[in-house]
Amino acid sequence: MKKSNFWQTRFGFFAILVLTFAAKDLFAAYCDFNLGLSDPYQHFIIWLSPFGLAAAIISLGLYVPRPLLSYISMLVLDLANTVLLFANIVYYRQFNDFLTIKTIQNTSKVSQGLGKSTVALLKPQDILIWIDLIIIVALLLLGKIKIDQRSYGISSAFAASSAACFMLVLNMFLAETSRPRLLVNTFDRSYVVKYLGLDTFTAYDMFKSARSNSVKKNANADELNQILSFTQQNYAKPSSTYFGKARGKNVIVIHLESFQQFLINLKINGQEVTPFLNSLYKSKHTLAFDNFYHQVGLGRTSDAENMLETGTFGLSDGSVFTSLGSENTFQAAPQILRQRGYTSAVFHGNTGTFWNRNEVYKNFGYNYFFDANYFSNEKNDKIGYGLKDKLLFSESIKYLEQMQQPFYVKYLTVTNHIPFDMDDDDKDPNFKTTSTSDQTVNNYFLTAHYLDQAVQEFFTYLHKSGLYKNSLIIIYGDHYGLSDSDNDALASVIGKSADDWTSYDSIKMQKVPYMIHMSGLKGGINHEVGGEIDALPTLLHLLGIKSQQYVNFGTDLLSPSHRKAVVFRNGTIVTQKYVITGSRSKRPSLYDASSGQPIAWKTLTAGQKKRLKKLIKFELNSLHFSDLLNNRNLLRFYTPAGFIPDQPTQFDYKTNYQQMEKIRKQAGSQSTSLYSQNGGSTTSDYQTDASELKNRRDEIDSVDLAKLQKLSPSTSKSKTSSK
Ligand code: MN
């Protein structure tokens, strides 16, 4: 066989596929993934990685005896690998992480809300991921690449597979030398990809996922006892000043999507980005926290919800909502509060299946879930992740006023979500945003400004309707909106320099607002370190509910013995004194919490080291026990004193309005809904400058009525009785 003909043989074709796949795999490794490749050794390993498992997979096509089928098999295997690569590239742009089996399994549930922003995440260079396959198929069709009709024995295919497997083993050996126990201590997925490549990472993840499914089946009550003793020891007694201060009040939780603490009091072009939230932050009736961190993992928004309402962490991988939320037993805020006579609801302008909420909320004990079905649906009413915030708040009133008081309600806003798109009509002509080179950064301030206005309109209504004086209002940001890739452009906006930006700065960017506001509440800005995990015990104590019997991994922020440390899902720990990264490694990296100066481990005294090790152990245990609790669904073995579990099947989110109306009518003069107290609807108290409504004020009422008619046959009467 002449050497020049090699490319026209079956093995030549195999080589073409492997080389082109390797080329785009490496392109992605360098241009799309931020793997932090530093020394030449790491570069060498990454160049090796595509010739291992990826080549082994494509080589399976060589075993097919019939020539045409063999070519097609190799192409299909290459295509499957390419799809995996491409999906990871797109996912990485948004989440700074790689796809796991759990995420893929739950994609159908998440993707319903992701469509628009996925398109926004595509880049022209992505064509390079597909171009090789297109060209190869074209060359095959044109006969430029001929199908090699000779037959080969198993042994030559085996030789190719063996060569690939040898590369894989060599790759793993070199990785092990450079980074021992890589697969045992997986604290960061990017390390596995960096040292073993995407295919090996995915295969490893499949193996891990299969193993965790078998773990759940072997759960036992002893583990629960271990966890209970851990959380009991961690319990912090409530402050005598605040315990029961909001007893019997309505609770209104406003979830500010992707809202970071640095936005508070930030001025751009001389103007405040969020003037209303700033005024609340400074109000003497607001307890604000300026050292409060989000602690979400891959479950993002749903992780924040989970922490705030169940007092347990999200998972190390995937989302509690999507992977466990349908089956698990929870002891969540709506359920705990129902024992005190509360009615609960969520208002959210996205589809109910997003993050599996329609199932999880039943297990959380929510009476009502008002998803996109309950709100207007005109083309211009939605953007990005659903109904625009101003419309969400204003259209929620006709439902809110029907709820029996006291109520616990949550508003999940969506407009301030990456890519922070907004229609021109919704932009405040008086607010000028930044003009950095990063459009994401510029947009972020526009949507944050819009969100601020939406919250202000809602507050104006709360005052006007009288709900304000009976309500405790909690406002928080769920997680970061701008990711590390935006820091270069962001640095100058917040008075920093991109050149001196450190991982300490990135960690400080994970602060989000947490504010508790109530008429007459003794407020102030609290500087103690805290996080989302601390929210549930804080709320319960304010409402005068003891929390010790519940499994909470955080502590009351207002308690004198509040634990002043937070742990992130990736193991980063922040205390009043230190910021600690790499806490799972032998020598964690330390920074001074206020100056950001690195602290060398060896400069610490023996006593300091010992205390730090103890602290790290405790925080990592906290994550570990929370994972154990959720992964094995251990709360099904535990009923706290005074807690009556709900039947999730008792809830039906399709007939919310009918249910509320029926309750009001049955209660008669005992009805505590705002509608009853007011002797009719309060929707006319709501003022919004939402551009969508300007031209169809009258029209929208009729649209709503028609819609409510569908959901509830007797609604039309409510309008005539309004005053
Ligand atoms: Mn979110």
Nearest to 452 by CA among 623, 279, 336: 279
Per-residue CA distances from 652 to 139, 534, 646, 665 (Å): 57, 31, 13, 19
Contact predicate 403/682, CB 8 Å = no
Ligand 1: distance of its center to the CA of 381 in Å? 20
Is residue 61 predicted with pLDDT exceeding 50? yes
The question of whether 301 is a catalytic residue gets the answer yes
Domain with CATH 3.40.720.10 in the chain: 243-559
Is residue 679 predicted with pLDDT exceeding 80? yes
Ligand 1: distance of its center to the CA of 554 in Å? 21
Q: Quick: pLDDT tens for 595-606.
A: 999 999 999 999
Ligand 1: distance of its center to the CA of 478 in Å? 6
Which residues partner with 253 through β-bridges?
410, 474
Is residue 717 predicted with pLDDT exceeding 60? no
Ligand 1: distance of its center to the CA of 95 in Å? 11
Ligand 1: distance of its center to the CA of 507 in Å? 18
Q: Which residues contact 232 (CB under 8 A, 6 or more apart)?
A: 548
Ligand 1: distance of its center to the CA of 413 in Å? 9
Ligand 1: distance of its center to the CA of 477 in Å? 8
Q: Considering the chain, what percentage of its residues have pLDDT values greater than 70?
A: 92
Q: Which amino acid is at 510?
A: Q
Is residue 468 predicted with pLDDT exceeding 90? yes
In angstroms, the CA 57 to CA 74 distance is 9
Ligand 1: distance of its center to the CA of 158 in Å? 49
| CATH placement of domain 243-559 | 3.40.720.10
Give 716 or 406, the one with higher predicted confidence: 406
Is residue 518 predicted with pLDDT exceeding 80? yes
Is residue 117 predicted with pLDDT exceeding 90? no
**Low-confidence winner among 288-302, 549-563, 642-656 (lowest mean pLDDT):** 642-656
Mean pLDDT to the nearest integer, 569-586: 93
Q: Quick: pLDDT tens for 381-431.
A: 999 889 999 999 999 999 999 999 999 999 999 999 999 999 999 999 999
Which residues partner with 412 through β-bridges?
255, 348
Ligand 1: distance of its center to the CA of 640 in Å? 31
In angstroms, the CA 667 to CA 36 distance is 63
Q: Which amino acid is at 132?
A: D
Ligand 1: distance of its center to the CA of 305 in Å? 9
Residue from 301, 538, 682, 688 carrying the catalytic annotation: 301
In angstroms, the CA 717 to CA 723 distance is 12
Alpha helical stretches, state H, 632-696: 656-667, 674-678, 691-694
Ligand 1: distance of its center to the CA of 575 in Å? 25
Cis? peptide before 513, omega within 30° of 0 = no
